[in-house]
Structure 1
Amino acid sequence: MKLGIPLAAGAVLIASVGSFIAGRASSPNPASSAEKSAVAVPERTPKIERSTGSASTSLSQAMRANEGPSASGASAAAEEMKRIISTIDPLDRAQAWLDFINTLEPDEFENVVAEFRDSGFAQENMGEYAMLLTAWAKIDPLEALDYAKENTGSPFARNTILASWVTTDPEAAIAWAQDNHEGDDANPWMVGVIRGLAQYDPARASELMTSMPYSEERGDALRSIIPHLISQGGDAAKNWATSIEDDRLRDGAIRRVAEQLAKDDPRGTAEWLTTSGGDAANGAIDNVMGVWAREDSAAAIAHFDSMPSGELRTNALRGLSNQMAMENPSQAADFLDSHAGDADDNTYRQFVWHSMRDDPALAANYIARIGDDGDRDRMYRRMLEGWMWRDLDGASQWIGSAQLPEGVAKHLESRMQDVRERQR
């Protein structure tokens, strides 16, 4: 059996290595439900017939002539990998890398992966690294995982290997992940399983994710599932997110789904959040309204005007004013003034940060509207010190005319002296 990784799949993997799941060697063919229950973790995969691309045949022969992972064989692998990675044209590089991988024998992968890491390639060439691990996982996932457990400190390698294995033998990969974790905390091995499973069985991936406790690992799993749900359509993604029973997980799912859907349909996403309400909608609406305002400010404002008062409307105001402030701070200030009853401290903090670059004097004037004294004084210090370094004269003039809290005024006077000394 030939591995036969196609160029298109390899190129996709390089372009989207963050997901660890693109560019598979073949389409997944998971077992039926009845068959799945009988699948066991496989024995080590025996040596299989491999394709022999002409570009790298001599390398494979050289390594075998030295009886596997010898010094000279390792050097040949390193030199060939260096030559391929230095190729400028990305398509030529991808094709050469796939040719190289397709000539490797099962017992050569560990040595080649080690050489790849020892040469420092894994630091800068994550796409090629992922392709190499993916190919190894399709030939001998257990050997690949043993290596990852013993030699890698980050989750990248294990997630890539498990994401590859689960596309060809899902039940074995799941069983291995479960058997290799102890305790009640989140199973880090399951993250890679879910990433690979999500591309063709998002329902099963969701089932595994929802069984995980609140954790960074569960968040990683959630991020890997959502793109595949989005590809099924906005309604499917919305229904999936709102159907999650765990409150915390549901809120996180709604926020992430809203973030993705807003890119193509900010109106529909805003209407969905307004209708559904809740903590998740409150946390996501500002970003959605900002995206909508960038595309069609009149429609976004009209929707805002129709919203009832409350936290959702306040957060929507923040999103609108932030977007306006980046384009026209004066217009944003007028909009805020006309809706002062809906603004809160966070609204004004965000307005200051989004408008200070283009109109620092206007931004500074709105700091006084922050109701919490501590937050207000910290904002004065941070914003005005930054302004000093960019425009000492302008900042000094504004500070001299403003009625600032005594502690803030003394602090800024000292900082102005420091800036003047350093700028001399």
Structure 2
Amino acid sequence: MAVTTVHRRRAVVASTVGTTIEWYDFFLYNTAASLIFPALFFPHQAAYTGILLSFGTQFVGFAARPVGAAIFGHYGDRIGRKATLIATLLLMGVATALIGFLPTYGSIGYAAPLLLVLLRICQGIGVGGEWGGSVLLSMEWGARDRRGLMASWPQLGVPLGLVASTGVVRLVSNWTGDSFESWGWRIPFLLSVVLIGVGLYVRLRVLESPEFTAAASAGQMVRRPLVEVIRAEWPTIISSAFVRLGEQAPFYLFTSFVLTYGTKQLGLTRDGLLDDILIAATIGLISVPLFGHLSDRFGRRRVYGTGIVLTGLFAFPYFGLLNTKQSGLILLAVVVSLIFHDIQYGPQAALIAEGFGANLRYSGAGLGYQLASVIAGGPAPLIATKILQETGSSTGISWYIVICCVLALAALVLMPRRTIRE
């Protein structure tokens, strides 16, 4: 029992540390896409056109995430979670560090944004393969009645990565001052090299998931898991993707687009908004596992559905609070928006992963989760920016959030119900 506890703890730490590093890299790009990249890589475009192009490179990373889920999901279900997760960590870390060395448009012209897109694709493939393995490594080491909590620990990588990336940008911005937009922005990307070393040390010490080991020993491995899961479990994959509309699309508006909206539309300071996001993300360190735990007690769907409804109801008050330009009310908007997000994000990993058997779980859960990036997270800042450009108002963006939540609630209702399968 003591040995199991040690390995369970190592699995949780390895999963959480790894996802934190991966999301640090991914969110760092999102912040830079809002604040820095339009001027550095698209300097001769009109203001909103440059922002749209910058968010377009961001979207490419989201589009690549299902590709990563398919590639690494296949091998994760064939050779195991541990080896696959080491590969995703290296891919993501190296791509992020290379962005820190990337010449800008002023140095190499159109080759600069093209290389930026290529590295963003590598980031997307890496994070696309990361989520399924990290969640399963933690969840499959846990007891059945605590899977919501166990699967929520790797989900902490989102608020931790957001805290780390936002905090580092804030510190480096203060340290480098006016030089931040010329060379200081590179420092947070280069720090990824150090994080790779930390992540590898942690992940190399963890054992393979007991459920995967048992399935492999019983000869239950599938030769082509990706093909099989699409053939047999496509309703679960599709509903898993759409159920994330109420969580992922608003999240990237609340953490990325808000920087554009606040600085360009409302004239707010960059540092003030970064501080607000930092505070809200820190609260997520408590709220994400809390709602994962509550889903073990009250049910995944009940907790998750509550988060969807609250997010939809908050769509108009959110922008109403931002539009006051009052610092206290802006902080309230940012904090509440991410708490409502966390009500969904805490139980989400277990909700999706429990729909698949251990021999297809990496492929199925990863694919369902990451397909949402194409319909939710990736397009959200682009759609919001276009609405703002055309209307000059946040009303259409609020309606967009409401529509996403309605579709997510419908997907939750239609999501296939089944008992946990081993």
TM-score by length of 2: 0.21
Highest Rg: 1 or 2?
Answer: 1
TM-score by length of 1: 0.21
